[in-house]
Amino acid sequence: MIEYKSDNEVQLMRESGRITGQTLDLLARTVQPGMTTGELDRLAEDFIRKQGAVPAFKGYRGFPKTVCISVNDEVVHGIPGNRKLKDGDIVGFDMGVIWKGWYSDSARTVAVGRIEDKAQRLLEVTRESLFKGIEKCLAGGHLYDISNAVQNHVEGHGYSVVRDLVGHGIGRNLHEEPQVPNYGPAGHGPKLRTGLVLAIEPMVNYGTHKVLMKRDNWTIVTEDGSLSAHFEHTVAITKNGPIILTLPDD
């Protein structure tokens, strides 16, 4: 069942999302070669708790940390630890918080030091594809309008969208109905209505769309070892169009 949020509930989710956006900003401006993923995770957790919020991922289905940190060919769900980031890496930060019972969820992939042009382009196209999807968050449209906009943008640049993992509804739970695939036929899927809040999250691979799980039972990697990027926002469908709830400021 899809749950639709009231204006007041969307406002609370905005407060939640602001903290998530600010945490991602902090990670993006702090990361540099030589730092470990574990250090970045602790920084994020401290910041979130200082705001009076709770890390949404820590303990979720047993995930041990605050941020999913995924490097290079890691697509999503990387576990922070002793891995030292190197100049030229790309690193995905995916995290969320709980604030007054309301979840938010957002992700970005950023450069560590100087990266190759081909990696930079992958990041740009993935980020653009998220915004192509957000533009389709319009009451009266269909869910797969979003999916199709993401897919067209990504495949139009010669990259592939991951099929095995999808976006989702979000609210009082991290994962709610409906699933939001990053591929599909426009004009199909559930009707989009005011009050629907979605976490839209293209995962884009430089090579094949196929992915594997590592032996830690969390980390998803590309099957061919190629780079992967991930961007995500929590977005509300309102009578005034889409509102991104996970921006760091207004």
Stretch that binds Mg ion, among 97-105, 108-116, 120-128, 146-154 (CB under 5 A): 97-105
Give whole-number Cα distances, 103 to 23, 77, 85, 199, in Å: 14, 18, 29, 10
Nearer to Mg ion, 69 or 192 (CB): 69
Residue 203-232 contact track with Mg ion, rule CB under 5 A, x = bound:
-----------------------------x
Single-letter amino acid code for the residue at 144: Y
Stretch that binds Mg ion, among 40-48, 127-135, 183-191, 192-200 (CB under 5 A): 192-200
Burial of 100 (0-12, 13-18, 19+ CB in 10 A): exposed
Give whole-number Cα distances, 210 to 40, 204, 224, 228, 229, in Å: 28, 11, 8, 11, 14
Query: How far is the C-alpha of 121 from the C-alpha of 136, rounded, in Å?
Result: 23
Residue 6-45 contact track with Mg ion, rule CB under 5 A, x = bound:
----------------------------------------
**Residue 105 near Mg ion by CB under 5 A:** yes
**Residue 235 near Mg ion by CB under 5 A:** no
Residue 106-135 contact track with Mg ion, rule CB under 5 A, x = bound:
-x----------------------------
Residue whose entry in the numeric block shows the structure tokens 């309102």: 238
Nearer to Mg ion, 107 or 247 (CB): 107
**Residue 74 near Mg ion by CB under 5 A:** no
In this structure, is the dihedral angle defined by the CA atoms of residues 233, 30, 32 and 54, taken in order, positive or negative?
Answer: negative
**Residue 94 near Mg ion by CB under 5 A:** yes
Nearer to Mg ion, 199 or 221 (CB): 199
Report the half-sphere exposure of 98 (CA within 13 A, side-chain side). Answer: 13
CB of 137 to Mg ion, least distance (A): 15
CB of 158 to Mg ion, least distance (A): 25
**Residue 199 near Mg ion by CB under 5 A:** yes
DSSP state for residue 62 in the 8-state scheme: G
Which among 149, 158, 160, 155 is positioned nearest to 205, based on CA atoms? 160
- Binding positions for Mg ion, rule: CB under 5 A: 94, 105, 107, 199, 201, 232
